[in-house]
Amino acid sequence: MADDVQDILAALARRLGPRVTKAIAELDTEGGRLVRSPQNIQSVARLLTDLRATMLDSEYIEAVADFVNGFDSVSQDVATALRDLGAIDTNMLNTITREYKAITAEQMVSTGAFARTLTGPLADMLIGGVVGNVAVRTLLVRADDIVGGITSTMDQITAGAPKQLERTLTVAAADQLGVVFFRYQGRPIKTTRDFCREREGHVWHRKEIEKWGRDAAAGDGWAGMVPGTNEATIFTYLGGYYGGRQSCRHTLVPVAWIDVPKADRERMISKKLVDSDGK
């Protein structure tokens, strides 16, 4: 799904580029430079207002709808993966999914989400260009860089949404089923942090995972940890940031006691979290 987001944003940037170029071309110039005048400042304000109003066009809105509707498959996958552990209330999973869809869609279509890296920088650039009598050619190059940067903004907001939804659904279903054992699943990459590397492939008791979160909240965290990690949010944040994204690549997979490896069983028993029967 992350690739889908990148495609959506790249297409939006391609459509916005000509609009921004046209807006700059409509400003008064002299000798290839913006004229320093009150009229040009007013024109900048008007052009930015028009850009905000037309920025989120129907093509983008439809692409966002397609993206968040893909969350339904995440819910279905979780239900399928856990069906051997017991009967799951799919209405609960569907409700959680609907909320995630609504929240993510709102983030992606909110003009405020673009203010920090698009409309805000454009406003600063254009107003500064008028006041500084800057060459139009220079502004066009800067505008291209600003428009091209919108992908990183939305990537921060949305890239981790499907993974966080998956983890939220999994934990909610596990609570319903009374499952307390989770495999820390994922494959290592060059940037895998020690926190995840030490845990991946092993099965952990819920109380062990909660302790990771309590330790984090008490100040005993780790590199790349998401701020606000505690005994509740650890189940969705896990290791924390992956690259520039607030989304760990790993997941927690509920398992039955019979599927817990011997070494992990012995660890839990030694901690008196369970007896030899996993209870």
* Amino acid of residue 221: G
What is the chain's Cα-based Rg?
24
Q: What is the pLDDT of residue 149?
A: 75
pLDDT (mean) for 215-234: 88
pLDDT (mean) for 43-57: 80
From residue 156, give the alpha-carbon distance in Å to each of 2, 12, 86, 126: 10, 16, 35, 26
Nearest in space to 128 (alpha carbons), one of 25, 256, 33:
33
Q: What is the pLDDT of residue 98?
A: 93
Q: What is the pLDDT of residue 243?
A: 47
pTM: 0.70
For residue 259, what are its two tokens?
Answer: 């599927």
pLDDT (mean) for 177-186: 89
For the segment 170-181, what is each residue's pLDDT rounded down to a tens digit?
A: 888 888 888 899
Tell me what the pLDDT averaged over the chain comes to. Answer: 84
